[in-house]
Amino acid sequence: MTAENKEKKNTNNILSLQLKVDDFLPASAEEKQAVVKERESVSFFKDGIRRFRRNKIAMAALIAVILIMLLAFIVPMFYPYSYDAQMKGSERLAPMQYSETELERIAAGESVFPHLLGTDQNGRDYAIRVLMGARVSLTVGIVASAIVLLIGSTYGAVAGYFGGKLDLIMMRFVDILYTVPDVLIIILLASTLKYPLESLAQMPGFSWIQTIGPNMISMFLVFGLLYWVGMARIVRSQVMILKQSEYVTAAKALGAGNGRIIKKHLLTNCIGTLIVTTTLQIPSSIFTESFLSFLGLGVQAPMPSLGSLASAALNGLQSYPYRLFAPAFMIFIIILSFNLLGDGLRDAFDPKLKN
């Protein structure tokens, strides 16, 4: 009781010393409102973007991705050398070294762009080859991820939305594909698909196959065939949760068709998941591409890829280690920055997806 008594004494003191009649006048609504510091209400996306921007690592990764994109897609357009031009007499130059003809031109007062990373045994500028390799790797990664996104999200959404027997059959199929050792099948397809593709390229209207390269197409095919199952599983489980929500019931009650509900309500609501999964798919596709190219099953010469550049550099590792380090560093940075970007996006937009 003593403590309570003490408190009471305190209150009495306050009472006798400080209180005025005015204090007990009712407060107005405005006065009441002024005390409340309303936290500004933000939309899901604004909130996500705010969280993302506060994440320094993710922001750095985003900047790195943009820089890599510029280097791979914009810079080669203005680069004074071409990736497949073989310069006679400029073979095997060291970084920043000039060939004799180039030295003569410099002596004559011409300005010659330096070979930043030297040239290869065929006299091709190595720096532009690395940049083109990055372009190829990025293209494969992005296109493959887009294919995966398209197939996976459609398949997953349909299975999850309709449920029942259809879902059961569709998911059994996914289960089987999931346990198929994909890399083996990829190698198998990559080493055999070129034959039917090459004969297809002979047919009228299919000459574009030759332009893109049968290997590249077989790689896309392989990704499209096998890699979408993970995406399909994620989208399906999201859709299954979402389809039980009230707004879907409301849309159904208003007579919206299935296609419309999937497109308008379900897919837009798992867009966070889609963005994150796709971003994380890009580095993993690049990983596979560089692996295949290293084995000689990737893009075709003279088109360089980071994997094939690294593979080619292996022979001259003792004398030209930088020829390995340059594409190696490029792959490392590309995969690292996409991974970190994906992690950052996930933390900002889709914290549930963590595992």
Partner 1 sequence: MGKYITKRILLALVTAFVVASATFFIMNMVPGGPFLGEKAVTPAAQEALEAKFGLDKPLSEQYTTYMNDLLHGDLGPSLKKRGRTVNDIIATKFPVSAKLGGMAILIAFFVGVPLGSYAAFHRGKLIDNIIILFSTAGIAIPSFLSSTLLMYFLSAQWGLLPSKGLNSPACYIMPVIALALHPTSYIARLMRSSMLDVMGQDYMRTARAKGVSQVKSIFKHALRNAILPVVTYLGPLTAQLMTGSFIIEKIFVIPGLGSEFVGAITSRDYPLIMGTTIFLAMFIITLNVIVDILYAVIDPRIKLK
Partner 2 sequence: MAEEKYLVDIKNERLSFFTPAGEVKALNDVSIRMREGEVLGIVGESGSGKSVTAYSIMGLTAYPGKLIGGTVEFNGHRIDQMGEKELRKIRGKEVSIIFQDPMTSLNPVWTIGNQIEEVILLHTGKNRKEAHERAKELLTLVGINEPEKRLKQYPHELSGGMRQRVMIAIALACEPKLLIADEPTTALDVTIQAQILELMMELKKKLGMGIMMITHDLGVVASMCDHIAVMYAGKVVEYGTADDIFYEPKHEYTRGLLKSIPKLHEEAYERLVPIEGQPVDMLNPPKGCPFANRCNSCMKICLDKMPPYTDISDTHYSACWLIQKAEFEKKQREGED
Q: Which residues bind partner 2 (CB under 8 A)?
A: 1-5, 7-8, 10-11, 14-15, 19, 21-27, 31-37, 39
**CA-to-CA distance for 42 and 52, rounded, in angstroms?**
14
Pick what 290 binds: partner 1, partner 2, none; C-beta below 5 to 8 Å, kind-dependent. partner 1
Q: How far apart, in whole angstroms, are the C-alpha atoms of residue 330 and residue 62?
A: 16
Q: Rounded distance, CA 79 to CA 45, Å?
A: 39
Out of partner 2, partner 1, none, which partner does residue 35 contact, by CB within 5 to 8 A per kind? partner 2
Question: At closest approach, how far in Å is the CB of 305 from partner 1?
Answer: 12
Cα 273 to Cα 271: distance, rounded to the nearest angstrom: 5
| Contact partner, 27, from partner 1, partner 2, none, Cβ < 5-8 Å per class | partner 2
Among 297, 312, 326, 348, binds partner 1 (CB under 8 A): 297
What gap in Å lies between CA 309 and CA 305, rounded to an integer?
6
Q: Per-residue x/- marks for partner 1, 324-343, CB under 8 A?
A: x---x--xx--xx--xx---
Stretch that binds partner 1, among 16-24, 45-53, 117-125, 288-296 (CB under 8 A): 288-296
Among 185, 221, 240, 271, binds partner 1 (CB under 8 A): 185
Task: For 281-314, give one letter per residue: b (16+ CB within 10 A) or e.
Answer: bbbbbbbbbbebbbeebbbbeebbbbbbbbbbbe
Q: Distances from the Cα of 45 to the Cαs of 56, 152, 268, 281, 334, in angstroms?
A: 18, 23, 12, 22, 26
CA distances from 37 to 41, 50, 151, 253 (A): 12, 20, 47, 40
From the list partner 1, partner 2, none, pick the one residue 24 interacts with, judged by a Cβ distance below 5 to 8 Å according to partner type.
Answer: partner 2
Amino acid at 339: N
| Residue 3: CB minimum distance to partner 2, A | 7
Phi, psi of 119 (to 5 degrees): -130, 165
Considering only residues 86, 97, 191, 237, which one is a binding residue for partner 1 as defined by CB under 8 A?
191
Q: How far is the CB of 352 from partner 2 (least distance, A)?
A: 16
Angstrom CA distances, 61 to 167, 325, 345, stand at 38, 21, 11
Name the residues that contact partner 1, by CB under 8 A. Answer: 175-176, 179-185, 187-189, 191-193, 195-196, 283, 287, 290-291, 294-297, 307, 310-311, 314, 317-318, 321, 324, 328, 331-332, 335-336, 339-340, 354-355
